[in-house]
């Protein structure tokens, strides 16, 4: 795909400084810019690269004033970073629009319904009574189970698995290897020491604008639904157990694990390898640093760190002391020895 500077400026409502006929067909970092690519400058720390970059077009903030000569064509916008993100959206949409039709071999049940302008890749499977919306891209080797409902403008990347009865809203993205609606970890201990499986008959629900990372698993509810609310973004390799509810616009980094029946509020941010115990409630706007462990309820509007997680300023002070513990122990033992010696006198 090839774009002129004038086309880009028109889309972004930007102002061109330089060659309005400059063309780009790819993007690059400003420090690694190549001819025919578009880059952006948002962080002043990278300004020195703009004077040497080989990128043909660079997005800059409107307030930018160059201190040296620049060979690249500039497009001045209100926010270079947001403008660049908008262009990536446009590029992704244009690329996705190339995928249409039904490839063979693939299987689509006679009772399944597909919307307009969709794509079904080779070796994909769509089960009985599945309902697929408009402009949905189902890549090769995706499994869509019986009675699944998928809204409009969704993308299911290769190898994603959607179990029976699950519901996916509009504009959702499910990356490769993700599993939606697998059995929750439910087993009842028996008198003979074995475990009896508790069948999980619920489903998983992804509301609108949810993105699920590669190899992330969202278990179905035991009897009702595991719910991922609108706008949630989950990284790769995350485990969401049965009957969990994740609130609107919450984000979680890789290797986070949420135990069964935990409730996470709106606009929460979890770093990598965070772990939540089961049957607890996390309030809104809670931030948990990487590797935090939580086993009890948390109120809204907090930032915590550590395992068990504590208020972040307290945690940082504790970590500062942690490295001094050997010396502190030595001093305490010496002090005890001195006190005991004094008592004997």
Q: 244 near 180, Cβ under 8 Å?
A: no
> Considering only CA atoms, which of 268, 233, 271 is closest in space to residue 253?
271
d(CA 307, CA 185): 23
Q: What is the DSSP string of 217-256?
A: EEEPPSSSEEEE-TT-EE-SS-EE-TT-EE-TT-EE-TT-
Q: 304 near 298, Cβ under 8 Å?
A: yes
| Cβ-Cβ contacts under 8 Å for 23 (sequence gap 6 or more) | 2, 3, 4, 5, 36, 56
For helices 325-344 and 312-322, the axis angle rounded to 10 degrees is 70
139: three-class secondary structure by DSSP: coil
Say which of 143, 175, 242, 279 is annotated catalytic: 242
Q: What is the DSSP string of 21-45?
A: T-EESEE--GGG--TTEEEEE-SGG
Helix ranges (H only) for 65-154 are 80-96
Tokens of residue 279, six digits? 């049957």
Please say if 143 is a catalytic residue. no
> Considering only CA atoms, which of 13, 3, 15 is closest in space to residue 74?
15
Q: How far is CA 42 from the centre of its chain?
A: 23
Q: Which residues are designated catalytic?
A: 242
């Amino acid at each position: 795909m090839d774009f002129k500077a004038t086309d880009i400026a028109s889309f972004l409502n930007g102002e061109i400084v330089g060659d309005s006929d400059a063309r780009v067909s790819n993007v690059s970092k400003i420090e690694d810019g190549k001819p025919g690519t578009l880059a952006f400058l948002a962080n002043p720390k990278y300004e020195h690269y703009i004077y040497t970059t080989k990128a043909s077009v660079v997005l800059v903030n409107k307030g930018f004033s160059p201190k040296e000569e620049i060979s690249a064509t500039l497009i001045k916008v209100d926010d270079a970073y947001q403008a660049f993100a908008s262009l990536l959206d446009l590029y992704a949409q244009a690329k996705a629009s190339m995928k249409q039709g039904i490839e063979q071999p693939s299987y689509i049940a006679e009772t399944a319904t597909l919307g307009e302008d969709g794509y079904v890749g080779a070796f994909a499977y769509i089960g009985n009574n599945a309902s697929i919306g408009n402009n949905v891209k189902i890549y090769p080797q995706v499994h869509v189970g019986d009675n699944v409902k998928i809204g409009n403008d969704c993308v299911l990347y290769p190898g994603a698995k959607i179990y029976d009865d699950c519901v996916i809203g509009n504009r959702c993205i499910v990356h490769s290897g993700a599993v939606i609606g697998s059995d929750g970890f439910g087993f009842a201990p028996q008198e003979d020491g074995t475990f009896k499986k508790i069948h999980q008959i619920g489903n998983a629900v992804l509301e609108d604008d949810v993105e699920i990372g590669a190899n992330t698993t969202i278990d179905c509810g035991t009897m009702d639904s595991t719910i991922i609310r609108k706008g949630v973004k989950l990284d790769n390799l995350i485990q969401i157990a049965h009957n969990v509810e994740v609130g609107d616009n919450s984000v979680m980094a890789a290797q986070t694990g949420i135990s069964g029946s935990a409730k996470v509020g709106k606009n929460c941010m979890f770093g990598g390898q965070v772990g939540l115990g089961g049957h607890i409630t996390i309030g809104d706007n809670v931030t948990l640093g990487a590797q935090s462990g939580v086993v009890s309820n948390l109120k809204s509007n907090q930032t915590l760190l550590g395992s068990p997680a504590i208020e972040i300023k307290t945690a940082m002070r504790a970590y500062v002391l942690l490295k001094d513990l050997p010396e502190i122990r030595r001093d305490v033992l010496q002090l005890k020895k001195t006190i005991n010696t004094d008592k004997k006198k």
